Amino acid sequence: MIKTLLENNRAWSEGKTRVDPDFFRRLERQQTPEYFWIGCSDSRVPANEIIGLDPGEVFVHRNVANLAPPQDANYLSVLQFAVEVLKVRHILVVGHYGCGGVAAAIDGRRRGLVDHWLHPIRETYADHVHELEGLPDGRERLDRLCELNVLRQVRNVASDVFVQDAWARGQALSVHGWVYSLGDGLVTDQNITVSSQAEFTERFPSRP
Ligand code: CO
């Protein structure tokens, strides 16, 4: 099995070099991605592949249920590097329907450490409990919670000081919310893009 992976790697590297002989030498010198992807660890949601980008084109941070918790040093370190050093133009917060992490947050079962990690999703559920419990079935409720989680994480990212300072400096930076469908491979833009402090305040008026 592992041998196959290494063979795949050889073939992939040769294929890339055949099309573009300078490909790896160029990447070795520097990375200049315009996109920063914050997505779920789920193996069915591979960042580069979904949006058709090569190595070097998208900076990636993935965790269970695509969270952007404002106290998580891992996420914050990656965010700061993306915004201040790489100067990405777009941050993509990408959730997906049928997310096991989102489902686990609200099924009432105890799993251990991950229950703490998923706590922000239970808060999002509580914030929207009337809308969610008004939906006809569990599947729709879960899908809507996946969307609301993305909305909440966009707010977290856009309200972070790294992003707010970038806007104050006049740096071009947009934060987008997407939800990916495992069933057909398509992304739905949630139309919650924020590209400036003014847009942020307008979209999230209660949380300046
Ligand atoms: Co997931």
The per-residue pLDDT for 205 is 86
Burial class (CB in 10 A: 0-12, 13-18, 19+), 61: buried
Q: Which of 25, 26, 44, 207 is the catalytic position?
A: 44
Same domain, 35 and 23: no
Distance, CA 43 to ligand 1 centroid (Å)?
A: 9
Known catalytic residue at 90: no
Domain ranges, residue 13? 1-30
Known catalytic residue at 40: yes
Is residue 208 domain-resident? no
Distance, CA 51 to ligand 1 centroid (Å)?
A: 17
Known catalytic residue at 99: yes
Distance, CA 100 to ligand 1 centroid (Å)?
A: 5
Same domain, 37 and 124: yes
**pTM given for the model:** 0.95
124's enclosing H/E stretch is helix 119-127
The per-residue pLDDT for 71 is 95
Same domain, 95 and 115: yes
Alpha carbon distance 34, 58 (integer Å)? 7
Number of domains in the chain: 2
Whether pLDDT at 208 is above 70: no
| Residue-averaged pLDDT of the chain | 96
The predicted-structure confidence for 110-155, as pLDDT tens digits, reads as follows 999 999 999 999 999 999 999 999 999 999 999 999 999 999 999 9
